[in-house]
């Protein structure tokens, strides 16, 4: 349930506009690193609380806020970077999403 929006990536990737300051590959790498780091911090604090019985409520709260911010950042980047085109072509036929490369 941490990655519910991943199912939309096949639809978004062909229509992502790259940030002019950095390439799409480096932008994706930065988002992945931010997500993995925040997820790792959250999981480590949750493990300490659940399995080791340590009092990590404050640390877990901070890790949760960081994970939330990371997920919001990724969603904002995906939403603002997407170029919107109609999915239906002429006569109500769904257009091809992945264009063949020549």
Does residue 6 lie within any of the structural domains?
no
Does residue 11 lie within any of the structural domains?
no
Does residue 1 lie within any of the structural domains?
no
Burial class (CB in 10 A: 0-12, 13-18, 19+), 67: buried
Neighbour tally for 59: CB within 10 Å: 17
Q: Give the pLDDT confidence score for residue 53 in this predicted structure.
A: 96
Q: How many domains does the chain have?
A: 1
Cα(100)–Cα(102) distance, rounded to whole angstroms? 6
Tens digit of pLDDT per residue, the chain (102 long)? 667 777 777 777 766 766 666 677 788 888 889 999 999 999 999 999 999 999 999 999 999 999 999 999 988 888 887 776 666 666 666 666 555 554
Does residue 13 lie within any of the structural domains?
no
Does residue 54 lie within any of the structural domains?
yes
Q: Is 100 helix (H, G, I), strand (E, B) or coil?
A: coil
Global pTM?
A: 0.72
The range of the structural domain enclosing residue 61 comes to 23-92
Does residue 46 lie within any of the structural domains?
yes
Q: Give the pLDDT confidence score for residue 98 in this predicted structure.
A: 59
């Amino acid at each position: 349930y941490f990655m519910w929006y991943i199912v939309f990536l096949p639809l978004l990737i062909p229509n992502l506009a790259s940030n002019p300051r950095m390439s799409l590959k480096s932008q994706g790498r930065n988002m992945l690193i931010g997500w993995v780091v925040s997820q790792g911090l959250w999981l480590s604090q949750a493990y300490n609380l659940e399995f080791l019985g340590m009092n990590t409520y404050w640390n877990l709260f901070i890790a949760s806020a960081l994970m939330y911010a990371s997920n919001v950042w990724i969603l904002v980047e995906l939403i603002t970077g997407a170029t919107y085109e109609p999915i239906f072509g002429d006569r109500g036929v769904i257009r091809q999403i992945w264009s063949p490369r020549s």
